[in-house]
Amino acid sequence: MPPPQEEQQQPHRPQGGRRPRPPPAPPPMAYSDDMVAFYDAWVGREEQIVADLTAALALPPRRQRDALAPLVDAAVDHVAAYYEHKARLADRDVVAALDPRWLNPLERTFLWAWGWKPALVFRFVEAGGGGGGMGPAQRRALEDLRAATAAAERGVDREVAAAQESLAGPRVLAALRRQAPRDGGEADDAVAEVGRSLRVLLGAADALRERTLRGVVGLLAPDQAGAFLAAMLRFHLGVRRAGRDWSPGHRGV
């Protein structure tokens, strides 16, 4: 007598024939809350960096160079850390990255392509006192960098305008109309494509900001770079404090 045929194992299904649902993704607000906590701590570190730079700039010239070199590197790395953390947020939730609620209203007035305008850093070369000691070759290189930055900004402006037009395109608008709020379904291909484009654009704008900062620092001597960075970061901290202390009932005169 032939052996009984083995029964084919059927995949287990819950009662009712429904497939188990995947675990819910963390709410987008959790990602944004993480950025808020990061930014608060980041600003605290920035205050210490400015204090260290200010103290080093007050040293005698012979001691100043050795003290400033690592502080300049630390300041540039500090700024880069912000862009790196924001990039991780954008990878998880690009919409949260495009809505920087960790910034106060006054900080938001300086936004260009979701961050500081790269050309703004050139103002702090003179403001920090480093511009006075620059030689002709330094000034020519700085002007070349300024021109290249302005051209790159115009390119980003065009990309931002194109992204805005894409958001108002018929395929995207039709997809948004079809989407029920909180339905948990996958976004329409058109919406997802715009999201990917925005993520790339945000990364390009932040890369330009960081590249411009590193370019300016690379053209300056340690004492000039220290004065430049101290002036730039001090300005940011002033904007941060003013925006934090600004009350809704305040009226300027």
Report d(CA 28, CA 92) in Å as an integer.
8
65 Cβ contact list (under 8 Å, min separation 6):
222, 223
Token pair 């948990």: residue: 184
Q: Are the C-beta atoms of residues 113 and 205 closer than 8 Å to each other?
A: yes
* Structure tokens that stand for 126 in this block: 């003179």
Determine the pLDDT at residue 250: 43
Report d(CA 116, CA 39) in Å as an integer.
15
pLDDT digits (tens, 9 = 90+) for 129-178: 655 678 999 999 999 999 999 999 999 999 988 887 777 666 665 655 55
The residue among 27 and 141 whose pLDDT is bigger is: 141
pLDDT digits (tens, 9 = 90+) for 234-249: 999 999 999 988 745 4
Q: How does residue 196 score in pLDDT terms, banded at 50, 70 and 90?
A: confident
> Which of these ranges, 66-75, 95-104, 215-224, has the smallest mean pLDDT?
95-104
Q: How far is CA 214 from the centre of its chain?
A: 16
Contacts 24+ apart (CB under 8 A), 37-40: 38/85, 38/102, 39/82, 39/102, 39/103, 40/102
Average pLDDT value for the chain: 82
- Nearest alpha carbon to residue 130 among 119, 139, 140: 139
Q: What is the CA radius of gyration of the chain?
A: 25
Helix, strand, coil shares of the chain, percent, nearest 5, are 70, 0, 30
pTM of the model: 0.78
**Neighbouring C-beta atoms of residue 141, cutoff 10 Å:** 17
Report d(CA 161, CA 148) in Å as an integer.
20
